[in-house]
Structure 1
């Protein structure tokens, strides 16, 4: 324990020395915060070091902190709350804000395709994260817990109706042909992300991990990649309405069988504080050659609409062939429906700007 305390005490200095580091952890992890929290643990055994180790090892992180279990968000609120406030613009958790109740907005959906000719939008995707009640997040899961969770999730997925019906592919024992096909389809998540590795989130790999998808590969569930569940709806083109309706159906069906971890102030709880609240990430793969010519300017334009720009393969990736992944940034302080609507309205505006340029 003394070694771990020493690592915590040294962390602000390590982050402070790296002039290139702009992480939120660096911004808010002061020696005072460390002193207050260094001897504290959650009921499941998580320490401050379990939360911050990835950001200390990878000083180039954007955020730099993960929650090893649901309780960490309140036990270590001294560091989590300022970071949540900073990332989720307009949501003042420190000032007593509460995330609104879930509202998927099925009766309000009206998202006409903003690119019916397919000139800009290549594909559309909406996903959300979910954690199972009673289990810690990845860094604290035992090998047996991974197996138990996989069994419960597999049972829940096996009964999905209609268009959602599909097959679960465990990573353990997966054939090379299946693996190749899933990689070629850009579905298969892989071990090796250094940020997750440093957070101890890749232990016992590939035990308890797997991928479920329907026949058309428009509905997927990732099991125990970064979060317990990532529920994903996707298809080619810009028909967000169809994609979002499919996600709603999938989430509702799975929740009938599995209890999810939710907090009345923070909403749905997941491993990363950027992904709380609605946990909704609605995104398009889009080509906007004129306004993305100057990448810094493109990021600024997107930020005006509360959008986030990433490379073609998501976080920590580069653009391939001028294709960018553009998504809603805000996940807290607004409903699920409003998060998706914000992305939709932002994309409509970006396409208008592209056509005027």
Structure 2
């Protein structure tokens, strides 16, 4: 009988070249830390080199936003390699893991969100990610695990067919690049990075998309995480999207519990998913907003930092995606409130700059 034996040299000889690597992984990783993690492996076989591979495959750019540069292979990774992950979370989110992560699913606590200026805010989206206890994450899971996760999702949605009416579509290559087949939304082909890091292994085996009957909600199964629930709207009512996601993620969690399965939760980390960029709430909220003048302002970068927001350009001229880069250290409602209040202020600034000689100096928020 032969045993698995990974042939490696010493930690010093195996230490990666981090020159011109602009990820949080490279920012925190030292030879001493690498040496301490070198011979460790989780119960499912995740080693430290598996964790840091995404940042080595995609080192980022000096002028771009800093990515985390790592992915967990399973929930135990966050415990076994906590020295590393805790520092990555601090570097990316500015959050030290000392207090319990708080959750607030009471969407009625959100002030505003249904009153954004439709002249400027064109559309919005709210998404949450979840992982299922006892399964490896997409970078590391086996084919059988992935198929079990899909079977579990089918059982959950079948069990909740009355409370969560909709249809599930098993992914096949016909769907890629189309506007959707039947009622299934468009599915992009996996990126090169997804292939190299293992997220898209065996594509499209056991990937599926569930779509609600009224098309207001989509659940992506076995993509970047076990589950990602998304509510996307073609108007500015992000409060409605938030309410839709919160109500239905709680329904889905209850269905999984009936099947004796639980979403992964840790007291300090909150909801645990594959990327440390998404732990905590697992929530991303985005709006697409017209900011033709403000986007070119010299203080725009500082304004976004003070609002705790990030902005990406889109294919449409003058339209930008504004979203929360942080997911931990705030509750779900607090994150949405930051976005709603921030977008309102950005809209006021854009209107001010449309006026002849308009200045926004008095509107710039104090340092965060």
**Structure-2 separation of matches of 1:343 and 1:209:** 31
- Report the equivalent of 1:227: 225
Q: CA deviation at 1:339?
A: 1.1
CA separation of 1:33/1:187 partners in 2, compared to 1, >3 Å: closer, same or farther?
Answer: farther
Q: 1:79 aligns with which of 79, 84, 102?
A: 84
Partners of 1:183 and 1:218 in 2: CA distance: 17
- Quote the residue 1:273 is aligned against: 276
Cα deviation, residue 112, structure 1: 4.4
Q: Does the 8 Å contact 1:8/1:38 carry over to 2?
A: no
Task: Give the direction of change, closer, same or farther, for the CA distance of 1:171–1:325 in structure 2 (3 Å limit).
Answer: same
1:335–1:293 distance in 2 versus 1, CA, 3 Å? same
- Distance (whole Å) between structure 2 residues aligned to residue 2 and residue 213 of structure 1: 43
Aligned-partner Cα distance in 2 for 1:193–1:34? 28
Aligned to 1:203: 201
1:109 aligns with 110
For residue 55 of structure 1, what is the aligned residue in structure 2?
55
Residues matched between the structures, number: 339
Gaps of 5+ in 1: 313-318
Task: Please give the alpha-carbon distance, in whole angstroms, between the structure 1 residues aligned to 2:157 and 2:105.
Answer: 21
The TM-score normalised by the length of structure 1 is: 0.87
In the superposition, the TM-score normalised over structure 2's length comes to 0.85
Match in the other structure for 1:333: 329
**Structure whose residues are more often helix by fraction:** 1
Instruction: State the distance in 2 between where 1:53 and 1:329 align.
Output: 22
Aligned to 1:30: 30
**2:338 matched residue in structure 1:** 342
Report the Cα offset of residue 301 of structure 1. Answer: 1.8
**Whole-Å separation in 1 of the counterparts to 2:184 and 2:11:** 38
Q: What SS does the aligned partner of 2:36 have?
A: helix
Please, what is the CA RMSD of the aligned residues? 2.5
Aligned position for 2:72: 67
2:96 to 77, 92, 96: 92
User: Structure 1 residues 162, 126: closer, same or farther in 2, change over 3 A?
Assistant: farther
* d(CA) in 2 for partners of 1:264, 1:165: 32
Deviations 1:27-59 (CA, angstroms, capped at 9, x unpaired) = 111111111111001111100011001211222
SS in 1 for 2:109: coil
**How far does residue 236 in structure 1 lie from its aligned partner after superposition?**
1.1
1:149-196 residue CA offsets vs partner (Å, 9 max, x unmatched): 111112222354678522111113x655x9723289994343432333
Unaligned runs of 5+ in 2: 61-65, 257-261, 354-368
Corresponding position of 2:147: 147
